[in-house]
Structure 1
Amino acid sequence: MSKGNLFGSLWLFLLLLGIAPIDSAVAEGRCPPGQYPIGDQGVGGCAPIPGAGQSAPEENPGHWVKTWGAVAGSMNGDAGASTGHQAKASAERQAIERCGHWGATDCKVLYTYYNQCYASIRTGRPDNGTMFNAGATKEQALERATQDCRKSGSQECTFVHSDCTKPFFQEG
């Protein structure tokens, strides 16, 4: 083989080597796909690439649904309450219906709330007979309503009713 042929063959070999695709295992060193080399001179290993091989999280696993409650009352003292409705209007409608169950015809919504608890306090004052407040728990709502009653100057603060309406998680 002549020197010219040897250099020509070597040149062709290097050219083909330069355009040949590199396997992904070679791209990560001595490790298989999805892993990267770790360690130091003479001591080596492979570790998984964080997130490699894991499926993407589901885009919409679900959502929280707000729930409503309402209290309705009449001039003669009849009252009705509702809780756990997905629509404010539905909660108000049921509270008015429950108030009317006692015979009142002038029931109107006095208080609405959502995703929390409420408490009502009778003040003993004719100008501001019932006070409402809300909180994360019935106890917190009662404490707040009682504080409001005391701040109004009323000496008589009587617990009337409390309830809660909580959101729920709907999958999908």
Structure 2
Amino acid sequence: MRAVTCWRTIIFLAGLAGCGAASAEGGSCPPGSYPVGGKGASGCAPIPGGGGQGANNDLPPMPPRQTGRWHSRYGAIAQSKSTAVAGSSVGRESAEEALTEALEQCGVEGARDCEILLTYSNQCAAWVIPKVEGPGSRTGLAAGKTIRQAKKNAEGLCKAPKGGKCEVFYSACSNPFFEKF
């Protein structure tokens, strides 16, 4: 019985010695990492999802920091009801500013009956007119994401008499502006 107790004690101590070696090896790595390496080389690697050294998993991650801000830009087109006089504005900071400028430009030659035909923001505008005026003719005025799209949209609205062609009278873009911080 004494021999069995002695063997148990030896096995127990041998087990403790093995645990102590593993504990000493793992104990040299910071929380959230585990020992790596072999003979003559050792180090620590982060435990996947463990947060790494000094990580505070109780705090939410910081949101990304803004690097700037977009500012909208506005444009408008106005025309006199009784004359061919027109006015436009491009790249204004507010819709009101764009409307005011377009109406003022329209009235420069004395027109008192100018009205806004189109307002737009952060896009382009095109005004397409028939090459030849006549019965059934109609101008096309439209906006689009690009100048090409605005022209295409306006051409779809333009109607020239007797199968005539329409041509671009005016086009411009009021693109948004990015302010860097």
TM-score, length-normalised on structure 2? 0.62
The answer to whether 1:84 aligns with 2:82 is: no
Q: 1:130 to 1:148 in 2, by over 3 A?
A: closer
The answer to whether 1:130 aligns with 2:139 is: yes
The answer to whether 1:162 aligns with 2:171 is: yes
Distance in structure 2 (CA, Å) of the matches to 1:51 and 1:30: 12
1:90 aligned counterpart, secondary structure: helix
Structure 1 residues without counterparts, runs of 5 or longer: 1-25
**CA offsets, 1:106-142, max 9 Å, x none?**
1111100000111011144666642211222212211
Aligned Cα root-mean-square deviation (Å): 3.6
Residue matched to 1:45:
43
Residue matched to 1:68:
74
Structure 2 residues without counterparts, runs of 5 or longer: 1-23, 56-60
Partners of 1:68 and 1:112 within 8 A in 2: yes
Residue matched to 1:106:
113
How many residue pairs were aligned? 144
Match for 1:97: what amino acid? E
Distance in structure 1 (CA, Å) of the matches to 2:159 and 2:27: 75
Residue matched to 1:149:
158
TM-score, length-normalised on structure 1? 0.65
Residue matched to 1:10:
none
Q: 1:83 to 1:121 in 2, by over 3 A?
A: same
